[in-house]
Amino acid sequence: KRSLRGMLRWITWVEIFLSLIIQIRRRTCKLLLKLLKHIIIPERRFVEAINRQAYLYEMGDFPTEWEVLPLNEILKNENYREEMKQKIKDVSEKDKLLQAKEYEEGLVAEPARTHVKGHASAPYYSKKEPSQDPMSTANTFQPGSWMPPGSGSNHNK
């Protein structure tokens, strides 16, 4: 009887000890998860409606912390914008240099110069004179024409 009682006591103490260890592990795991969520994952924020009907809303019903980003996100966005501006500037400079080089080598034709006379929505009512440059007004387009050299044109190439 003594050995059976001793074993039962020992088993109950072991059960109590194991249950305490399990509870401690659960609590520490929960605490660790809470810490990780706050450090790594920003907490999800929700806005609860103060007034249920739309016509009852007034200015200032939502706290300002819901309307603005945290400072670190603002700084991160500004840095990203500056980096993008710099990259765009670098790429456009490289492209301009490449285009100039291709124009010099004759690989690419220079863009055509189209003169717009008058407003785009109003037709051009003056006398049409032949020109070496193409012209466009409203829905019409007049291609450039060949003129012999020294024919009194205003445009010299």
Per-residue pLDDT for 62 more than 80?
A: no
Per-residue pLDDT of 110-126, as tens digits, reads 766 666 666 666 665 56
Residue type, 7: M
Per-residue pLDDT of 94-153, as tens digits, reads 988 988 888 888 777 776 666 666 666 666 556 666 666 776 666 676 777 777 777 655
Q: Let me know if residue 134 belongs to a domain.
A: no
Domain total of the chain: 2
Whole-angstrom CA distances from 157 to 79, 128, 133, 149 are 47, 21, 10, 9
Q: Let me know if residue 126 belongs to a domain.
A: no
Q: Let me know if residue 135 belongs to a domain.
A: no
Instruction: Supply the pLDDT for residue 36.
Output: 60
Q: Let me know if residue 144 belongs to a domain.
A: no
Q: Let me know if residue 57 belongs to a domain.
A: no
Confidence of residue 156 (pLDDT cuts 50, 70, 90): very low
Domain that holds residue 5: 1-43
